[in-house]
Amino acid sequence: MSLDIGPILEAWKHDPSTLQVRLIEGEDGRVKIQTRLDLGLLQMEIDGRPDGQKPHGFDSWLDYYESLTREAAARGERRMLDRQAHADLMREGVQYYHRYIALFHLEKFDLVARDTERNLRLFSFVVEHTEDRREAIAFDQYRPYVLMMRAQALAKTALSLRNTAAAIRRIDEGIAAIRGFLREYGQEGREEQNVEINFLNQWREDLQRQRSIDPAEQLRERLELAIASEDYEEAARLRDQIRRLGAPGTAESEQPHP
């Protein structure tokens, strides 16, 4: 058997102007994802770890290290991640990133949600079990982007069901989560410069224009989300906007609490 993949590359010409992704059936009968690169191909499993490996018999390095921390906790110990663990987890996180980008292009939004949620779990685990704040931030810095991608995937799933209201709620949830990230790092003042929030806000406005519903109803929906996410400053601002529109006020139960 020839190891030269030249004929495969020749049959699938590289186009640098677009992301080229396809699904193929592997020799093992399982569906796989292929991405055409300028110098070759990237092939990934559609389920499990993208490279199909099982570190120490686990589905992923994340599952393996989570298991070690649980075992340590059962002994009354707290196990922190070392440099090798960080390297294993970072490489693996990048694999999942490549896969959910490919899946997004293929409009497999349920699988995009699955993989983005998995990487959000990774960030949370690393932050909780890393002593060096710089090492933790090396992972967690990507949280706003992954939250944005997850919000897009969930919103597009709702839009495929012709449920624009649900799509807007998913976008609002994403915005609220990114705002929460900024608050955690004392970066509230940088919200206007946040690329992910600006993208989601613009998309939300586009959907609202298409939806053409009463402005007060839009504000009430955003108010409900702000209260649910305990963003009381945003809730107060939205309440004031509703009052200026002369719309019915919010019920007492909807008032934010200090």
pLDDT tens for residues 176-207?
999 999 999 999 888 999 999 999 999 999 99
Q: How many residues belong to the chain?
A: 258
- Rounded CA gap, 151 and 179, in Å? 13
Distance in angstroms (rounded) separating the CA atoms of residues 192 and 205: 16
Per-residue model confidence (pLDDT) at position 251: 36
**pLDDT value at position 223?**
86
User: Which of 89-98, 141-150, 159-168 has the lowest average pLDDT?
Assistant: 159-168
Work out the percent of the chain whose per-residue pLDDT is above 90: 74
Cα of 209 vs its chain's centroid, Å: 25
Element (H, E) at 42: strand 40-45
What average pLDDT score do residues 88-92 get?
A: 98
The position carrying tokens 């490996």 is: 53
**Cα dihedral sign for 184, 190, 193, 197?**
positive
Q: Is it the case that residue 252 has pLDDT exceeding 60?
A: no
Q: What is the pTM of this model?
A: 0.80
Lowest mean pLDDT among 127-131, 211-215, 243-247: 211-215
Could you give the CA distance from residue 167 to residue 164 in angstroms, rounded to a whole number?
5
Q: What residues contact 125, with CB distance under 8 A and at least 6 apart?
A: 62, 65, 66
Q: What proportion of the chain, given as a percentage, has pLDDT over 70?
A: 93
- For residue 220, the model assigns a pLDDT of 76
- Looking at residue 213, its pLDDT comes to 60
Beta bridge partners of 24: 32
CA–CA separation, 129 vs 138, rounded Å? 13
For the chain, give the mean pLDDT: 90
Contacts 24+ apart (CB under 8 A), 160-168: 160/109, 164/207, 164/210, 164/211, 165/211, 165/221, 167/207, 168/204, 168/207, 168/208, 168/211, 168/221
